[in-house]
Amino acid sequence: MTNPLLSDWETPFGLPPFDLISDEDFAPAVDAALAQSRANIAAIADNPEAPTFANTIEALEQADETLSRVLGAFYNIAGADSNPKREALQRDFAPLLSAYGSEVSENKALFARVEAIWAARDALDLTDEQQRVLMLTRRGFVRSGAQLEGEAAEKLRAVKSRLSVLGTNFTQNLLADEREWFMPLAEGDLSGLPDFVVATAKAAGAEKDAGGPVVTLSRSLIVPFLQFSDRRDLRQKAYEAWGARGANGGKTDNRGIAAETLKLREERAKLLGYDTFADFKLETEMAGTPAAVRDLLMQVWEPAKASAEADAKMLERMLHADGFDGPLEPWDWRYYSEKRRKQLHDLDEAELKPYLQLDRMIEASFACANRLFGLEFQPIEGPVYHPDVRLWEVTRDGAHVAVFIGDYFARGSKRSGAWCSAMQSQHRLGKDVRPHVVNVCNFAKPEAGKPALLSYDDARTLFHEFGHALHQMLSDVTYESISGTSVARDFVELPSQLYEHWLEVPEVLAEFATHADTGAPMPEDLLQRMLGAATYDMGFQTVEYVASALVDLEFHNGSAPADPMQRQTEILDEIGMPHAIRMRHATPHFAHVFAGDGYSSGYYSYMWSEVMDADAFAAFEEAGDPFDSATAKRLEETVLSSGGSVDAADLYTAFRGRLPGVEALLKGRGLDKAA
């Protein structure tokens, strides 16, 4: 019987035939695809004809077509709907794929062809896009160790292989801790919880077959529990379990993995001739150097810390007024901050949430994309990997643009967080390929028959991930390697963070923030109170983020620490971390940094991009219309359609005329007056 992963996909728009694929199909499909890729690489390297851009660089672009298709389907389902079989496959695939990558980068005949084209590039009449692809291809070979010989090459191969295994293990350990812990709630334990939190806890209990409501380690449940629960003892128990993910001892403990990962990254950097891993990693980013990253973070750290410390004093007084002695603790912050928000802004989440229905916020994100870029979204039927997944065809002026895939609800089989990926990326080499773009979130699933309600933070997350999706959908390049979000790590968050601004446009909320029961629009006074509270508690949010970014940077900007937990404590002490705030991502569950190389030395990227997004939205404000068509067209033509075909700084300058400073970010976060 033909493996469905390797046959032609006769499905709507060529989507993976998830209804036909079984877990047993993945391993033989990966084996066959790897064999095909190896044959393609050998044919390129051994080609007797002189190297040309077409027979070498373009051939490399197409060498892994089948492998990319198989892995696109596999890793999407492995991250969003895992099971023991899929987790075992991830562990099996990691060293296989690392070995294949090393084979390609160490293929001397292949690299010689690339070098020959590079040396002759000025005489080849290449387009700007081809020049860029050539530069990036050669740079990728060099940074992967193509110029290393003998023992050094063997060491690097072993390091990369081990790192791929460690990243997979880190992710699976974290998922296991998040999946296995829950705290049952008796009737008396529900004190202070609004109906929507109780309903979410009951739904989580039903999923766990716990016989009643529970608190899990899903952010969409534990955060509102910490905001509203009157039971300080239960808040502490839940918070400490949340903070202990990956650090509970036993087989799922990630502390040893983190230590080994940092040591191997340092070794990798030194083999390639860099002083530190941060120097290696940041060389290709907009920031360029660790010093530039630290400078940005510290410009924000001091005002954020001052704001947070002032807030902490207010919250601690509220704690004492409730009869509790001692300092404000991390499990107290969200509870008293929610009470203070109610006092200052006459706003609480229980009042707000019925107006932020998931379906209406999806409609809002689509409507903004329509007004800005002319995109239209039509629900379609097709094969999906889980019943919760939804599909839309995206068109413009009647022409097919993309398939958008939404997977919004938390479940035990899904890793935490929210992300955007492309099971198929846009490119025009050989044929016109349109993208299949996936947004995955972890919103609380409602009881059957009830609408899904979001917090304002959830709604921002939805818009954020959809901004990434637009970057993929609107991509208009020839080569897949520079398509969509294939850009510098500290530029990739610009489109996503910029798109969040449209959620704050009053006319958008006036149309789409409608009550789940009555259908009535959000009252004007509530709308203004919500927008007025947009920067509330921003000291806390900024401190927990910047602390994580600084720890990530310092971990990689020097000798690898033997004990990362001790070094984490030292770094936080050095910057004066407030007692009642902890890192957003402590080391044992810092998946951005330890699940793979993506954000290692790069967690600062969100803030680097925020400097740009605050300034970029100002372009629409200066035009006098958040939907100004000329500004939107310029944004698409420079940033959104270009992928990695142009240097990120040049793209932004083409859109805005200059690079921005940190002032707009501080103003946007309400920290410009902090002292």
- The pLDDT of residue 675 is 46
Q: Is 604 helix (H, G, I), strand (E, B) or coil?
A: coil
Residues forming beta bridges with residue 420, ordered by sequence position: 439
Domain boundaries, the chain: 12-147, 181-245, 354-518
Asked if 451 and 357 count as a contact pair (C-beta separation under 8 A), the reply is yes
Sole residue written with tokens 């954000």? 599
CA 379 from centroid of its chain's CA atoms:
25
Structure tokens at 597: 């190389």
CA distances from 191 to 230, 331, 333 (A): 6, 16, 18
Catalytic residue numbers read 465
User: How far, in whole angstroms, is CA 346 from its chain's centroid?
Assistant: 33
**Cα 201 to Cα 666: distance, rounded to the nearest angstrom:** 37
pLDDT digits (tens, 9 = 90+) for 397-438: 999 999 999 999 999 899 888 999 999 999 999 999 999 999
Q: Chain centroid to CA 410: how far?
A: 16
Rounded distance between C-alpha atoms, residue 271 and residue 154, angstroms = 11
Question: Quick one: pLDDT at residue 295?
Answer: 95
DSSP 544-555: HHHHHHHHHHHH
Spatial contact of 195 and 350, defined as CB atoms under 8 Å apart: yes
For strands 419-424 and 182-184, give the pairing. unpaired
Asked if residues 217 and 244 have their Cβ atoms less than 8 Å apart, the reply is: no
Burial class (CB in 10 A: 0-12, 13-18, 19+), 386: middle
**Phi and psi of 203, rounded to 5°?**
-65, -40
pLDDT score for 447:
82
Which pLDDT value is given to residue 616? 95
Class of domain 354-518: mainly alpha
pLDDT number for residue 661: 85
Rg (CA), the chain: 25
* All residues at 6 or more sequence positions from 665 whose CB lies less than 8 Å from its CB, including other chains: 300, 607, 610, 611, 614
Residues 296, 285: Cα–Cα separation, whole Å: 14
Looking at beta carbons, which pairs linking 118-125 to residues 24 or more positions away fall under 8 Å? 124/53
| Stated pTM of the model | 0.93
Low-confidence ranges of the chain (pLDDT < 70): 1, 673-675
Looking at residue 674, its pLDDT comes to 55
